[in-house]
Chain A
Amino acid sequence: MWFDDCSLLTGFNMLWQQLANGIAIGSVYALISLGLTMVYGILRILHVAHAGIYALGAYVGWFSFRLVGDFWVSLLFGMAGAAVAGYLVERFLYSPLLHLPRIAPLIASIGLFIALEEAFRIVAGPHTLTYNARIGLGDLSIGSFKLTETQILILLVTVVILIVLWTFLTRTRIGLAMRACAMDAETTSSFGVNVGRIIAINFILGSAMAGAAGVLIGVYDNQVWPTMGSIPAYKALAIVVLGGLGNIPGTVVASIVVGLSETFFIGVLAIPFPRDAVAFIAMILVLMFRPYGLLGKA
């Protein structure tokens, strides 16, 4: 255990360090999971290929970084590329399948996800690419507590995106229609809302966030690889269930909880335990005691 070979002080520092790591990872989970929960909220389908969009965002970011050499530009391109892809997926894959039982779009989604991973392999090669971008923020040290540049970046980008999303949902006419649609699309349409357009906006926003997550993880881990979406694919599903399917604040909370649990169980308590199992154990526990999710109501 850590206190055997560390002084208590460094132990505390390590705790803070892990807290920072956990929140950073949790923020990225939130960016991925939000799109998933928004799509579920409005269409009631599990958009498995969302993790493919996340990886696509990372690849587009990487390519544009190679071309332009500026990280912020590559972030914007990654988000834009993912947004366009998300829109196309909705328009050409889900939209024609929506009148069928929900298993049809689900299978299509899984198929698309596998196809995307193969496409990345064919286009960019099977090896891991390094995304060594200079961001220009610098590390932050307070005593022996340290936030790395990429951690600051993740926190900054996530906070900005969440504020923008929340403002959009609560302060604009289209945001209001989007929330109404998730509750009752038919009634919403009777008030003059073009539900098809709302669904498209939903996909564009959710995918842009996933694209941002892809770019952020690309620079955080300094790598982009074809199957980088496979673990987030099912982890995001667990998080979305934890947050209460379709619940936006619940999803943010669940993401942070999972990010923190992972780093604490593995990093602080040093339990020899596969990191990626934490989200699922949390999901099982929550489903046993609060089947409507962390913030949901019975």
Chain B
Amino acid sequence: MLEVRGLEVSYGEFLALKGIGFTVHEGELVTIIGANGAGKSTILRTVMGLVKCRRGEILFKGRDISATPAHQRALLGISLVPEGRKIFPDLTVTENLLMGAYTQQDRKTIDAGMEEAFKLFPRLRERQDQVGKTLSGGEQQMLAIGRALMSRPRLILMDEISLGLMPIYVEETFKVIQNLHRQGVTILLVEQNARKALQAADRGYVLETGEIVLNDTSRNLAHDPLVKKAYLGGA
């Protein structure tokens, strides 16, 4: 579904991604793990179209979208749960969800999506008329995921969704991700929490300073001595 080849992204002089490639097949949950500053967020932002790539191809359903603006990529079925959640602070929960459904024209589909989001996260229903900035970190993360699902995306990009969350919320969030995966949603997950990410994902890539250094099934990666040492806290 998503195939990235030779992707190069630079911020001024600094080369953030040094020609990376990876694939995500339909229905897969793929993770990219790596240290802070390795370029994980940059990958997702480039796939979404928020960052321009200098070189390389981004093929989505076989079509090169590397020059397509972000808003048109959303129409093609790509959706982002951004790092730091990026909830609209002065919009209510309902309005935030409606923004997620912007690509949907049909009122019934939007209402059904809203109902699904509330079923997935009952907390959001309780808070539906509250503005985004009054939610707790965990609630904001639920809203960010619910909002990204509103467009009924073909591919969801999830950026550091466990960052800054209390452990119980981390558990809950990963449960939601695995449920989505079981329902057949294609997910590309970028995480610092490598242990959790590898538990959930089918396959994984390890990113180090803008380059992919390892690429294997999650099970194999979890047992790889290098990964163990660098990302899973030794032993």
A243: min CB distance to chain B, Å? 15
B102 lies within 8 A of A173 (CB):
yes
A183 adjacent to chain B (CB < 8 Å): yes
Q: Is the CB of B103 within 8 A of A183?
A: no
Query: Does the CB pair B91–A192 fall under 8 Å?
Result: no
The B28-57 residues at the A interface (CB cut-off 8 A) are 48-50
Query: Given the complex of chains A and B, what is the CA–CA distance between A177 and B89 in angstroms?
Result: 13
Taking residues whose C-beta sits less than 8 angstroms from the other chain, chain A's interface range is 10 to 19
Q: Is the interface of A mostly helix, strand, loop or mixed?
A: helix
Contact call A176/B50, Cβ cutoff below 8 A: no
Q: Which residue of A lies closest to B86 (CB)?
A: A187
Which residues of chain A (172-195) have a CB below 8 Å from chain B? 173, 176-177, 179-180, 183-184, 186-195
A-chain residues with CB within 8 Å of residue B72 when the two chains form the complex: 192
- Knowing A180-B88, A183-B88, A183-B91, say if A191 contacts B50 (CB, 8 Å): no
A194 vs B151: C-alpha distance when bound (angstroms): 15
Q: How far is the CA of A189 from the CA of B70 in the complex (A)?
A: 6
Give the residues in chain B near A188, CB-CB below 8 Å. Answer: 88, 99
Decide if B211 is an interface residue (CB 8 Å cutoff): no
Over the window 185-209 of chain A, the binary record of Cβ atoms lying under 8 Å from chain B Cβ atoms (1 yes, 0 no) is: 0111111111100000000000000
What string of 1s and 0s marks CB contacts (under 8 Å) between B133-175 and chain A? Answer: 0000000000000010001000000000000000000000000
> Smallest CB-CB separation from B103: which chain A residue?
A192
The interface stretch among B18-26, B74-82, B195-203, B213-221 is B74-82
The answer, yes or no, to whether B117 is at the interface (CB within 8 Å) is no
Set of chain B residues within 8 Å of A190, measured between Cβ atoms:
48-50, 70-71, 74, 79-80, 82
Closest to B100 in A: A191
Report Cα–Cα, A195/B70, bound state, in Å. Answer: 10
Partner of B99, one of A186, A191, A194: A191
Least CB distance from B107 to A in Å reads 11
Q: A188-B99, A190-B80, A192-B151 are in contact. Are A179 and B90 (CB under 8 A)?
A: yes
Q: How far is the CA of A183 from the CA of B89 in the complex (A)?
A: 7
Considering the complex of A and B, which 8 residue pairs feature the smallest CB-CB distances, nearest first? Answer: A192-B74, A192-B103, A187-B86, A189-B70, A191-B102, A192-B102, A194-B71, A190-B80
The 24 listed contacts between A and B (C-beta, < 8 Å) are A173-B102, A176-B98, A177-B99, A179-B88, A179-B91, A183-B90, A184-B88, A187-B82, A187-B86, A189-B70, A189-B74, A190-B48, A190-B49, A190-B50, A190-B70, A190-B71, A190-B79, A191-B102, A192-B71, A192-B102, A192-B103, A193-B71, A193-B102, A194-B71
Chain A: residues with CB nearer than 8 A to chain B? Answer: 173, 176-177, 179-180, 183-184, 186-195
Using a CB–CB cutoff of 8 Å, the interface residues on chain B facing chain A are 48-50, 69-72, 74-75, 79-80, 82, 86, 88-91, 95, 98-100, 102-103, 147, 151
- What 9 additional pairs, Cβ within 8 angstroms, besides A177-B99, A187-B82? A176-B95, A176-B98, A176-B99, A179-B88, A180-B91, A189-B69, A190-B80, A191-B99, A192-B103
